[in-house]
Every structure is written in structure tokens, then in C-alpha cells.
């Protein structure tokens, strides 16, 4: 189960997948940070008419949630607590499965025909179809909170400054460990990886091997990053927003709210950020933000864009 700086209350009951259409909003059931933008250039541009949300729910055990979602091979795959997996090909009908582990999965990505799921104690799994999963060794026992794919490389990040990378999803190399601050996510943004975490930590890399630490000017926790409209944007606790045009020099602002945002994705027109209280925020430039209100009554931890849909997951 993921926790945030300001959201530590127990959560019980159902898992949710929130399907956010770019011209409508629906909630489609199943289970409940990480994730990244995919196929953003294919996203629809009409976001003017939002229909009321509809919900369908699958029963799950008390306290479970989905923490991350990714897309590949025509499938959405979300991963979560106790090795749970939720799979959909149409965003409306979801099948709840498992990786065969009791370990919680915290991050997911897709690349080279493989789904990758990572989680507690350095856990990692690969799958070609989202149904059958194989455990792989990452070389670390630190929690891995996020995963991303880009420039032919898989990257996962986590506790104690841990960064691991792989060319094939099966053989992993530890690139960094022991720096202290936790990384909560890694996203592939335009042409580089951006890893963010505790204390305003933000690192970038084009190859997943060599990383550059950026000065962010903040000690506030960061949870996710995205790229669009010529701008890199990172979001974090208490409404913090970081903005950069080169991914090197960053300026701080806010979403206009003190609500913590856990995930951000670009849909081809707007940045979309979600987090605590299930509130959706939108911005074209990463500077001026508008609240679209609650799309879920619960916290949302991960989000991607794919085609004409955004998928957000949480509890």
C-alpha cells in the first residue's frame, strides 16, 4: 500500500479503476503510483463535455488497492497490493488476476513486448500478456515504487535512492543505491527518464545508467513527472508543481490547491494530475491550473493516457 506525506488513514473496502475519457468521464470497476503517458500524440482533443461518472466495482479483500497502471499490446494492466493484477482491453470490463505473489506491486510499465511490475523488497515480474507472470531478480531488496521504459531501456526506482535498469526486463543492474532519499516514481518524458521523490529529489537520465541531480529549490516530496507542450512538469505534496523547459532548471509553483497530487499525464493537449480526494487538475502549460472536481471519492495513485482515454488507479 502506498502512503503519502499527508494521507495515512486506513483505507478499506473496494478497489477502483477510474477511466477518464477526454470528452467524457466514466468510472469502470476493478481494483485500486505509478504509470506514465503512452500514445499521447494519439489522444483526442475534445475535453469540453464531461458526462457524470458511473461506477462498477469488483469485490476484493479489505485494505487492497491498485497502485500503478500501464498500457501495451492493446491491454491496460494495473498492479497492486498482494500481487493483484487487473486487465482490460476496452477500459470498461476488467478481469482481476494475480502475479502469484503475496508481495505488493507498486509500479508498472510496458516495453519491448513485455509488461514489467515492481514492488516491495525489490520484487519484479515480467509478462507478455498480463495474465502469466515470471519473477525476476533486480539485485536489490529495497522497495521499488516506480518503473518506466524509454530509449530501449527499463528503469525502476525506489527506497534509499535505488535505481536499477535492464535492457531486456530479465537481467537488472543496480545503478544507484544508498543515497537516502526515496524515489517514488520514474517517468520517461520526451527523451529522458525523470525520477522524483523525497525532499524535492529529482534526477534525469537519457540512458538509465548515468543520472544527473537537478536543483529543484524545494524540500517537498515529489511524486510524478510528465512532458507536453514543450514543458516538463513534476507534481507533489500539498499542491506543489515544478516546471522546466529543459529538464535542468526548474521553477516552483502550485496547482492553486493544497491537495497532494500523486500522478500526472499529458493527453496531447493538457496535463492532467490526480491524487488525494480524487480531484482532477488540468493545465496546458503547467503554470495555470484548473480543478475539474472529484472524479473519485478516494485517493488516486497512478495514471496514464492511451488513445482517447486516461486511466487512473487508486483505492
Residue with cell 477502483: 16
Longest CA–CA span in the chain (Å) reads 48
- 314 forms beta bridges with 16, 300
Is residue 221, in this structure, part of any structural domain at all?
Answer: yes
Q: pTM for the whole thing?
A: 0.85
Is residue 9, in this structure, part of any structural domain at all?
Answer: no
Residue 66: the pLDDT is 86
For residues 181 and 108, give the distance between their C-alpha atoms in angstroms, rounded to a whole number.
21
Is residue 4, in this structure, part of any structural domain at all?
Answer: no
Q: Which residues of 110-132 are buried (b: 16+ CB within 10 A; e: fewer)?
A: bbbebbbbbbbebbbbbbeebee
Concatenated DSSP letters of the chain: ----SS--S---S--EEEEEESS-EEEEES---B----SGGG-----S-PPPP--------TT--EEEEEEETTEEEEEEGGGEEEEESSSS--EEEE-S-SS-EEEEEEETTEEEEEEGGG-EEEESSSSS-EEE--S--S-EEEEEEETTEEEEEEGGG-EEEESSSSSEEEEE--SSSPEEEEEEETTEEEEEEGGG-EEEESSSSS-EEPP-S--S-EEEEEEETTEEEEEEGGGEEEEESSSSS-EEEE-SS---EEEEEE-SS-EEEEEGGGEEEEESSSSS-EEEEES-SS-EEEEEEETTEEEEEE-
Is residue 74, in this structure, part of any structural domain at all?
Answer: yes
> Structural domain of residue 244, as residue ranges?
16-314
Residue 256: the pLDDT is 96
Is residue 261, in this structure, part of any structural domain at all?
Answer: yes
Is residue 67, in this structure, part of any structural domain at all?
Answer: yes
Q: What is the pLDDT along the chain (315 residues), one digit of tens a residue?
A: 454 433 322 233 345 666 665 432 333 322 223 444 332 222 222 222 333 333 334 444 545 688 999 999 999 999 999 999 999 888 777 888 999 999 999 999 999 999 999 999 999 999 999 999 999 999 999 999 999 999 999 999 999 999 999 999 999 999 998 877 999 999 999 999 999 999 999 999 999 999 999 999 999 999 999 999 999 999 999 999 999 999 999 999 999 999 999 999 999 999 999 999 989 999 999 999 999 998 887 888 899 887 667 888 887
For residues 233 and 271, give the distance between their C-alpha atoms in angstroms, rounded to a whole number.
8
Is residue 11, in this structure, part of any structural domain at all?
Answer: no
Residue 26: the pLDDT is 30
Residue 312: the pLDDT is 85
What CATH number did the domain enclosing 162 receive?
2.130.10.10
Are the CB atoms for 222 and 201 separated by under 8 Å?
yes
**Residue 251 grid cell:** 521553477
Is residue 10, in this structure, part of any structural domain at all?
Answer: no
Residues whose CB is less than 8 angstroms from the CB of residue 184 and which lie 6 or more positions away in sequence, other chains included? 33, 145, 146, 157, 196, 197, 198, 221, 222, 223, 224
**Nearest alpha carbon to residue 33 among 275, 277, 278, 272:** 275
Distances (CA, A) of 24 to 70, 71, 290: 21, 20, 17
Q: How many domains does the chain have?
A: 1
Amino acid at each position: 500500500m502506498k502512503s503519502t506525506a499527508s494521507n495515512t488513514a486506513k483505507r478499506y473496502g473496494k478497489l477502483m479503476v477510474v477511466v477518464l475519457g477526454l470528452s467524457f468521464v466514466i468510472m469502470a470497476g476493478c481494483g485500486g503510483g505509478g504509470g506514465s503517458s503512452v500514445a499521447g500524440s494519439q489522444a483526442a482533443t475534445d475535453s469540453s463535455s464531461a458526462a457524470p461518472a458511473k461506477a462498477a466495482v469488483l469485490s476484493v479483500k479489505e485494505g487492497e488497492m491498485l497502485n500503478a497502471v500501464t498500457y501495451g499490446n492493446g491491454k491496460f494492466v494495473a498492479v497492486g497490493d498482494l500481487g493483484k493484477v487487473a486487465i482490460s482491453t476496452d477500459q470498461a470490463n476488467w478481469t482481476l488476476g494475480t502475479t502469484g505473489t503475496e508481495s505488493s506491486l507498486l509500479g508498472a510499465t510496458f516495453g519491448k513486448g513485455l509488461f514489467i511490475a515492481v514492488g516491495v523488497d525489490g520484487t519484479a515480474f515480467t509478462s507478455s500478456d498480463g495474465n502469466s507472470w515470471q519473477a525476476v531478480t533486480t539485485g536489490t531488496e529495497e522497495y521499488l515504487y516506480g518503473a518506466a521504459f524509454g530509449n530501449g531501456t527499463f528503469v525502476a526506482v525506489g527506497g534509499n535512492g535505488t535505481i536499477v535498469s535492464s535492457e531486456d526486463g530479465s537481467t537488472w543492474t543496480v545503478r544507484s543505491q544508498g543515497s537516502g532519499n526515496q524515489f517514488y516514481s520514474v517517468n520517461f518524458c520526451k527523451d529522458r527518464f525523470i525520477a522524483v521523490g523525497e525532499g524535492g529529489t529529482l534526477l534525469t537520465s537519457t540512458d538509465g545508467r548515468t543520472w544527473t541531480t537537478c536543483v529543484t529549490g524545494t524540500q517537498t516530496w515529489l511524486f510524478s513527472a510528465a512532458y507536453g507542450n514543450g514543458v516538463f512538469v513534476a507534481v507533489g505534496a500539498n499542491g506543489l508543481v515544478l516546471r522546466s523547459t529543459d529538464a535542468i532548471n526548474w521553477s516552483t509553483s502550485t496547482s492553486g490547491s493544497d491537495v497532494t497530487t500523486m500522478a500526472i499525464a499529458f493527453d496531447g493537449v493538457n496535463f492532467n494530475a490526480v491524487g488525494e480526494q480524487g480531484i482532477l487538475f488540468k493545465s496546458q502549460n503547467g503554470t495555470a491550473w484548473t480543478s475539474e472536481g472529484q472524479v473519485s471519492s478516494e485517493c488516486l495513485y497512478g495514471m496514464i493516457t492511451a488513445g482517447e482515454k486516461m486511466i487512473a488507479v487508486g483505492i
